[in-house]
Amino acid sequence: MGEESAITRLREFMRARDWEQFHSIENLIKSVSVESGELLECVQWHGQPDTERVKDELADVLTYCFLLADALGSEPEELILAKLQSTEAKYPVDKAKGRSAKYDEL
């Protein structure tokens, strides 16, 4: 990007405020859930949310997800790609095509 990555900036931000002490694995996990609840609030009463508000709340969920990945010594893209490999095995194209059923109901 030519600029610093998100996780580098997040680490600097937290270190400057001495906030790393609050970022246990458990607290980060709780924070992901808290922020997901605020994201869900964008569609609480209907399915046409304010896009800027969704971006704002999604940014918070992503922030804690990135901090949690970092605390686990992982990178977000790698976690996604590793999981995708196992999901591909569980949902083969021929069985899963066009269906939202859970893999054990396919």
Burial 69-88 (b: 16+ CB within 10 A, else e): bbeeeeeeeeeeeeeeeeee
How does DSSP classify residue 30?
H
Q: Does 63 bind a second copy (CB under 8 A)?
A: yes
Q: Does 106 bind a second copy (CB under 8 A)?
A: no
Q: Does 34 bind a second copy (CB under 8 A)?
A: yes
Q: Does 105 bind a second copy (CB under 8 A)?
A: no
Q: Which residue has the tokens 């949690």?
A: 68
Q: Does 76 bind a second copy (CB under 8 A)?
A: yes
How does DSSP classify residue 71?
H
Q: Does 11 bind a second copy (CB under 8 A)?
A: no
CA distances to 26, 38, 39, 61, 63 from 34, rounded to whole Å, are 12, 7, 9, 8, 12
Q: Does 68 bind a second copy (CB under 8 A)?
A: yes
Chain residues binding a second copy by CB under 8 A are 1, 3, 5-6, 9-10, 13, 16-19, 21-22, 24-27, 29-47, 49, 51, 54-56, 58-63, 65-66, 68-69, 72, 74, 76-77, 79-84, 87-88, 91, 93, 96-98, 100
